[in-house]
Amino acid sequence: MNDLPLWVKQQNDKSFPASIMAKDWNTLLPISDYDLSAADSANYEHSIVGEKTVTFPHKLHTLDSAKYESFKYTPFANTYTFNMAKAAIENEKPGSNNVTDFLTISISSTDYAGHWFGPNSRDRRYLFTPG
C-alpha cells in the first residue's frame, strides 16, 4: 500500500483532535458531585503539559506545541479511537468474504490518565465534556 485509503484521509480531514484541543475539558456535572474519587488536586497528580494547574477545568485551548501530546491524556482520545474503529468497520466491510477479519482497538487514554493523574483521580474516573 503506497497511500492511505480514502476513508482514512476523510477521517483525518475532520481534524477531531484539533477541534477538541481548541476547547476546554470540564466536568459534565458540578465538581462537588464527583464524591467517589479523590480530591481534584493531589500531590501525585501531574498537570497536562503546558498547564500550571491540575484542577478542572483543563484549559486545553491555551496549549500550544504540546496540545497533541496532551490529547492522549483526555477521554476524547478514546472517542477518536472509537470513531476510527467505526469508520474502519463501515468502510472495510469485515465479514463480507471468506477471509477471517480481525479488528482490535486499544483504549489507551484511560491508562495514560491513570498513570498521569492517579488511578482514583477525577480526571481518570469520570466522563467529561469539551466546552
pLDDT band at 54 (very low <50, low <70, confident <90, very high): confident
Query: Is residue 105 in some structural domain?
Result: yes
34, 122 Cβ separation under 8 angstroms: yes
- Supply the range of the domain harboring residue 19: 13-130
Is residue 6 pLDDT above 50, yes or no?
yes
pLDDT value at position 131? Answer: 46
Non-local (6+) Cβ contacts of 63 within 8 A are 21, 48, 49, 50, 51, 70
Q: Which residue has the cell 477525577?
A: 122
54 in a structural domain:
yes
Mean pLDDT of 36-65: 85
Structural domain includes residue 7: no
In a domain, 1, yes or no: no
**Is 79 a domain residue?**
yes
Contact 76, 20 (CB under 8 A): yes
**How do residues 71-127 score in pLDDT, each as one tens digit?**
999 989 999 999 999 999 999 999 999 999 999 999 888 888 888 888 777 776 554
CA angle 40, 46, 52 (to 5 degrees): 85
pLDDT surpasses 60 at 130: no
* Lowest-confidence region among 15-24, 38-47, 72-81, 102-111: 38-47
Domain count, the chain: 1
Q: Give the separation between CA 17 and CA 88, rounded to whole angstroms.
A: 18
